[in-house]
Amino acid sequence: MFDQSIDGQLAEDGPSELTAANRPDGISVPIRVLILEDRPEDAELMVHELRRSWFDPTCVRLETESEYLDHLKSPPHVILADYRMPQLDAPRALELLQNLGLDIPFIVVSGAIGEDVAVAMMRQGATDYLLKDRLRRLGPAVRRALADKQIREEKREAELALRASEARFYSFMNHSPALAFIKDRDGRILYMNNTCEQVWTMNLSHCEGKLDHELWPAAEAARLRAGDLSVLKSGNPSHIVEELCLAGGDIRHLLSYRFPFNDATGCRILGGISIDITDQIRTEQALAAALAVQETLVKEVHHRVKNNLQIISSLLNMQAELCDPEQRAVLRDSQLRVQSMALIHDRLCGNNDLEHVDFREYVETLARELFAAHGVGSDRVQLRLALDPVSLELNQAIPCGLILNELVNNALKYAFPGARTGEIRIELHCDEEDRVTLRVADDGVGMPPGPARKKSLGLGIVDVLTRQLGGTLKREPAPGVSFSLVFEKTAAQPVPKPVQTKTFHSGR
């Protein structure tokens, strides 16, 4: 029965001898072999069989335990051991090998060994066994033992890599400031990191396998479950800012990301990462409250400035009533300048943006008020506007508004004497390089000769304000008078309104 089992293994192993014809690469495999054998001729037969199987063995024959332990310091590829030797038998040699924790194929080679003894050796950890009169199967046995060892090494390396990967994962997740959790399709918690335990004030052992309604109040659990199901059903990740009410009543604000993915078995599960932004939310709320107070104060300042300018305008108007016509005209011009500045602050009082003025709207309003102040009817002079949406900072809007006031005021005073009719055209544009162009033109009688023009206070004011803006003012050839102011605007925020062209009729 014992010989039949050996023959069966030989049949499975195939031919014992490799040749250059049946070995694909035709190269011998170098191996280091320890042979525990007290008969040199038997050791020579083992070496011969290894060479016949296309190995290139470097062999050392040993008989004592001390020699054996010394050679194990440089572990061989395989150990061939006679079962019985006077100084060191196979069971003792295998025991010493295992005590050292070495994984070296250990093949028992004996002249006579019972099947029960062979089975016992295999159970003890021997790789294989064979009889000396069956040495033709030595080569295949060594080859199979080396292949099994390689598989074990690869398995150990894979297990070590897996354990290292798991250790890195858990170490990374447990040191991450973000909350991380995994749930199955039913909503049971499969994993959560230390940050979840700290924020939720619950530990994994308490939460593992639990559903949301077992951990949170009903309303909170329903909201969390609805968010999870939405992601699982749609297959699309989500990110939201959510409030989480903890058991002690503390409210935490979380920026949460949920995403579906498949586990190793292909089952769809849910992953979640949340960042605790409670401190940021509280800071933003405090800043928003402070900003609201600041905006209220700034609006109050603009309101008081506007009121003060209106008082000045009223005082000028009262003073004008006590003056002769020439002085009255001068005071009225000053009054119009004050009103143009008051209009800027009035627009800022009602605007959410306290630093920028919608200058297109300002131009429309100021022009209509100037027409009304001069009592010019639409049947005699028409106002035509072609205005782009332009936003100006306060330090540019005031001088630009005063320039507009002077140019339109001069056109209304001098361009259409007597019953002469015509039109005043105002254009406002801003190009891609943030250059603003303000053009005021009329088709009236034109400007007086040079000396008279030099005496104009209004044009002197315009020159000063143009330099303040760092711009240029050009008089262009046209019927009547045409002035173009060009300057670069500072960081302005465009007003989201379409370009429009309008015709306004005074008195309507």
Q: Which of 348-352, 412-416, 434-438, 494-498 has the lowest mean pLDDT?
A: 494-498
Is the predicted pLDDT of residue 465 greater than 70, yes or no?
yes
Q: 36 has which bridge partners?
A: 62, 81
As a whole-number percent, the residues of the chain with pLDDT over 90 amount to 34
Q: Which of 186-195, 234-243, 409-418, 454-463 has the lowest mean pLDDT?
A: 454-463
Can you give the pLDDT at residue 289? 81
- Between CA 378 and CA 366 the distance in angstroms is 16
Is the predicted pLDDT of residue 313 greater than 50, yes or no?
yes
Between 41 and 362, where is the model more confident? 41
Is-contact 260 232, C-beta < 8 A?
Answer: yes
- Between CA 131 and CA 9 the distance in angstroms is 12
What does the DSSP 8-state code read for residue 506? T
Section 389-401 average pLDDT? 85
What does the DSSP 8-state code read for residue 352? S
> Taking all residues of the chain, what is their mean pLDDT, rounded to a whole number?
80
Of 24-28, 82-86, 247-251, 334-338, where does the model show the most confidence? 82-86
Can you give the pLDDT at residue 4? 31
Contacts 24+ apart (CB under 8 A), 230-238: 231/258, 231/259, 231/260, 231/270, 232/185, 232/260, 232/268, 232/270, 235/260
Can you give the pLDDT at residue 182? 93
Of 54-63, 473-482, 486-495, where does the model show the most confidence? 54-63
- Between CA 105 and CA 387 the distance in angstroms is 93
Is the predicted pLDDT of residue 354 greater than 90, yes or no?
no
Is the predicted pLDDT of residue 98 greater than 90, yes or no?
yes
Give pLDDT tens digits for 113-140. 778 888 888 999 999 989 888 889 999 9
Between 94 and 406, where is the model more confident? 94
Size (the chain), residues: 508
Of 326-335, 362-371, 372-381, where does the model show the most confidence? 362-371
Can you give the pLDDT at residue 250? 79
Can you give the pLDDT at residue 43? 92
Is the predicted pLDDT of residue 371 greater than 60, yes or no?
yes
Neighbouring C-alpha atoms within 13 Å toward the C-beta of 500: 13
* Residues 426, 429, 434, 435, CA torsion sign: negative
Is-contact 78 33, C-beta < 8 A?
Answer: yes
Q: Which of 13-17, 232-236, 267-271 has the lowest mean pLDDT?
A: 13-17
Structure tokens, 243: 């409030």
pLDDT band at 21 (very low <50, low <70, confident <90, very high): very low
Can you give the pLDDT at residue 10? 32
Backbone angles phi, psi at 159, to 5 degrees: -65, -40
For 90-151, the DSSP string reads HHHHHHHHHHTT----EEEEESS--HHHHHHHHHHT--EEEEGGGGGGHHHHHHHHHHHHHH
Is-contact 332 318, C-beta < 8 A?
Answer: no
Sheet holding 179-183, edge to edge: 189-192, 179-183, 268-276, 251-262, 238-245
Tokens 């798991």 locate to: 166
pLDDT band at 17 (very low <50, low <70, confident <90, very high): very low
Q: 242 has which bridge partners?
A: 254
Give pLDDT tens digits for 286-310. 888 877 766 666 555 555 665 665 6
Structure tokens, 172: 């990374």
- Between CA 390 and CA 393 the distance in angstroms is 10
Supply the angle between the helices 40-52 and 138-175 in degrees, to the nearest 10. Answer: 70
SS percent in the chain: helix, strand, coil, step 5: 50, 25, 30
pLDDT band at 497 (very low <50, low <70, confident <90, very high): very low
Is the predicted pLDDT of residue 112 greater than 80, yes or no?
no
